[in-house]
Chains A and B, each alone.
Chain A
């Protein structure tokens, strides 16, 4: 069976053919399984945004291929068009894409472009709105009258309503406060649980990735520097720091405790796990 998304030798040059030619993505091979949740990390300029823009054909690879469902998306015009609907891409600060008179119409923009029947569009808009927690009353308002958090969710619903097989988020929580961030991560988690879709999240937050991802892909200097489970990647603290990334504070705490000779595990990525590990160890604290 084919992968949800597969990149083979994917390379993208900026300023191609000039002396300033740089590879923003350099011979990347990546296969994303159906239903998998992949977390992608890397500092700014590591190539992760350029990489994901290839997955729905917004950028054309200079070399290599992108396969969606095993088919090269650049095979012909129709395949390319279909790839936009199969792979939904939700950019950073997606609220800046809102434009319609009502939230409803804005969420319906994607499905409308898919030329779906009216009833189907309506059903999709309502499903997507429910997923992101927008009440039916809000659907009739102008998107520009919503609060910041609601705008973000309306914009996400505008991508979800296309019901793509793969949904990619670029920094979905950028600019949100801690509660907004937590709510959004919970939303993504439940979306994936209910639809079983493949999800790729690009984020700077090592904490968010740790709590969500099945697999972590680390980009550095236009290449995939590491990939594996959260355990496999986060255990290489030094290598991550060398790439300008940090492990979560809680992981750092346990690494230092371990280094001091305490018999604690080092694969701790959430505070809840940390509490359990220390309670199991025993000490002068609440058991």
Chain B
């Protein structure tokens, strides 16, 4: 089987401008990107860098003006093919309130599979499994508006899982959450990637969320400007900063001290500094 799940080839995309307005500048310019099956890809960039647009092109909500986006080899140029693509790639958005449809948690999770025309017993099974996978099973009969932000996002993730998509694209899922909610969502996403082999594309501007990714892509004014493993990307501290981003504090500290290599975690940082400490400079 082909190991590429999503493929961008020279994709340029411009949002429609309103009547009487000057044409907009392209949100994506000549983007070429391959996402491997089972990969955890983090897409970084400041606000307006094009990273959200990249996410929205992954499941045929928008079609590029030039270039092509393929999902499992499919191009979403007709309604039917777009529908097929959405069965492969699911989306989770930033605002947890604006993607929950039903007034009861389990009914919301069932919404996707119901649209797909899945058999009722099978929906029930998928909904229960999905809610267990995000640790929200005990909340299945609750009303979504009474949940915390982190819990709502996990319900949204369960809604995608119940559709049994191969890939899940999360567009700044933690931007509106408190630290606890962020932690809940991130550990859930990592578990799904590791245990269920689901391909994850995480769009974010929190550097610490990108540290554990398999690969990091940095975007700026609609272009991919950096890519590589987190260590490869974050080792270029000044370049990352130039794109309006940050690096983890551990990385920043070791970089400022002129230590070679790239340190990403607190543990590494402590070990490396301890090994080098003590007057014997040189």
Q: Are A and B close enough to touch in the complex, i.e. CB under 8 Å?
A: yes
Which A residues form the contact surface with B (CB < 8 A)? 43-44, 147-149, 174-180, 204, 207, 244-246, 248-250, 252-253, 256-257, 260, 262, 271-272, 274-275, 278-279, 281-287
Measured CB to CB, the closest approach of chain A to B239, in angstroms, equals 14
1/0 contact string of B236-255 vs chain A (CB within 8 Å): 00000000111011101100
Task: Report the separation of the CA atoms of residues A147 and B252 in the bound assembly, to the nearest whole angstrom.
Answer: 30
Kindly name the residue among A207, A245, A274, A283 whose own CB sees the greatest number of chain B CB atoms within 10 A: A283
- What is the number of residues of chain B that contact chain A, defined by CB distance less than 8 Å? 37
Q: Chain B residue with minimal CB distance to A178? A: B246
Q: Which residues in A have their C-beta under 8 angstroms from that of B270?
A: 253, 256-257, 260
Binds A, one of B8-16, B33-41, B57-65, B172-180: B172-180
Q: Which residues in B have their C-beta under 8 angstroms from that of A285?
A: 257-259, 276, 281
Question: Is residue B278 within 8 Å, beta carbon to beta carbon, of the partner chain?
Answer: yes
Q: Chain B residue with minimal CB distance to A176? A: B47
Contact B258 A178 (CB under 8 A): no
Contact B246 A271 (CB under 8 A): no
Q: Chain B residue with minimal CB distance to A255? A: B270
Q: Quick one: given A178-B207, A283-B281, are A253 and B244 in contact (CB under 8 Å)?
A: no
Contact A204 B179 (CB under 8 A): yes
Task: Report the separation of the CA atoms of residues A204 and B245 in the bound assembly, to the nearest whole angstrom.
Answer: 19
Q: Quick one: given A257-B274, A285-B281, are A175 and B176 in contact (CB under 8 Å)?
A: yes
Number of interchain pairs (Cβ within 8 Å):
109
Task: Give the contacting residue for A179; candidates B46, B252, B273; CB below 8 A.
Answer: B46
Q: Which residues in B have their C-beta under 8 angstroms from that of A262?
A: 273-274, 277-278
Contact A271 B278 (CB under 8 A): no
Q: Which residues in B have their C-beta under 8 angstroms from that of A286?
A: 256-258
Q: Chain B residue with minimal CB distance to A276? A: B256
Measured CB to CB, the closest approach of chain B to A254, in angstroms, equals 9
Taking A274-B253, A275-B256, A278-B277 as known contacts, 17 extra A-B pairs with beta carbons closer than 8 A to each other, sorted by chain A number, are: A149-B47, A174-B176, A175-B175, A177-B46, A177-B205, A178-B46, A178-B246, A204-B178, A253-B250, A253-B266, A253-B270, A257-B273, A271-B249, A275-B257, A278-B273, A283-B276, A283-B280
Q: Chain B residue with minimal CB distance to A206? A: B179
1/0 contact string of B180-224 vs chain A (CB within 8 Å): 110000000000000000000000010100000000000000000
Task: Give the contacting residue for A271; candidates B48, B252, B279; CB below 8 A.
Answer: B252
Q: Which residues in A have their C-beta under 8 angstroms from that of B48?
A: 147-148
Contact B245 A178 (CB under 8 A): yes
Task: Report the separation of the CA atoms of residues A232 and B64 in the bound assembly, to the nearest whole angstrom.
Answer: 55
Question: Is residue B66 within 8 Å, beta carbon to beta carbon, of the partner chain?
Answer: no
Question: Is residue B148 within 8 Å, beta carbon to beta carbon, of the partner chain?
Answer: yes
Q: Which residues in B have their C-beta under 8 angstroms from that of A248?
A: 249
Q: Which residues in B have their C-beta under 8 angstroms from that of A252?
A: 266
Task: Report the separation of the CA atoms of residues A174 and B174 in the bound assembly, to the nearest whole angstrom.
Answer: 11
Q: Chain B residue with minimal CB distance to A148? A: B47
Q: Quick one: given A252-B266, A256-B270, A262-B274, are A271 and B179 in contact (CB under 8 Å)?
A: no
Q: Chain A residue with minimal CB distance to B204? A: A177
Measured CB to CB, the closest approach of chain B to A215, in angstroms, equals 22
Question: Is residue B117 within 8 Å, beta carbon to beta carbon, of the partner chain?
Answer: no
Q: Which residues in B have their C-beta under 8 angstroms from that of A180?
A: 46-47
Q: Quick one: given A43-B180, A275-B256, A284-B281, are A249 and B248 in contact (CB under 8 Å)?
A: yes
Measured CB to CB, the closest approach of chain A to B178, in angstroms, equals 5
Q: Quick one: given A44-B178, A285-B258, A286-B257, are A253 and B269 in contact (CB under 8 Å)?
A: yes
Task: Give the contacting residue for A283; candidates B176, B180, B252, B273; CB below 8 A.
Answer: B273
Kindly name the residue among B277, B278, B279, B282 whose own CB sees the greatest number of chain A CB atoms within 10 A: B277
Task: Report the separation of the CA atoms of residues A284 and B207 in the bound assembly, to the nearest whole angstrom.
Answer: 27
Q: Chain B residue with minimal CB distance to A259? A: B270
Contact A260 B274 (CB under 8 A): yes
Closest 10 CB pairs of A and B: A286-B258, A285-B257, A179-B244, A249-B249, A178-B246, A284-B276, A177-B205, A283-B277, A177-B46, A282-B279
Q: Among residues 9 to 38 in chain B, which have CB atoms less than 8 Å away from a CB atom of chain A?
A: none
Contact A244 B257 (CB under 8 A): no
Task: Give the contacting residue for B256; candidates A43, A44, A176, A271; CB below 8 A.
Answer: A271
Q: Which residues in A have their C-beta under 8 angstroms from that of B180?
A: 43-44, 244
Q: Which residues in B have their C-beta under 8 angstroms from that of A274?
A: 253
Task: Report the separation of the CA atoms of residues A245 and B280 in the bound assembly, to the nearest whole angstrom.
Answer: 37
Contact A177 B179 (CB under 8 A): no
Task: Report the separation of the CA atoms of residues A262 and B269 in the bound assembly, to the nearest whole angstrom.
Answer: 14
Q: Chain A residue with minimal CB distance to B280? A: A284
Contact B179 A246 (CB under 8 A): yes
Contact B266 A283 (CB under 8 A): no
Q: Quick one: given A178-B244, A178-B246, A271-B253, are A249 and B274 in contact (CB under 8 Å)?
A: no
Task: Give the contacting residue for B253; candidates A44, A149, A253; CB below 8 A.
Answer: A253
Task: Report the separation of the CA atoms of residues A249 and B181 in the bound assembly, to the nearest whole angstrom.
Answer: 18
Q: Among residues 152 to 190 in chain B, which have CB atoms less than 8 Å away from a CB atom of chain A?
A: 175-176, 178-181
Measured CB to CB, the closest approach of chain A to B52, in angstroms, equals 11
Q: Quick one: given A149-B47, A177-B47, are A43 and B178 in contact (CB under 8 Å)?
A: yes
Q: Which residues in A have their C-beta under 8 angstroms from that of B248?
A: 249
Task: Report the separation of the CA atoms of residues A264 and B201 in the bound assembly, to the nearest whole angstrom.
Answer: 40
Task: Report the separation of the CA atoms of residues A147 and B46 in the bound assembly, to the nearest whole angstrom.
Answer: 13
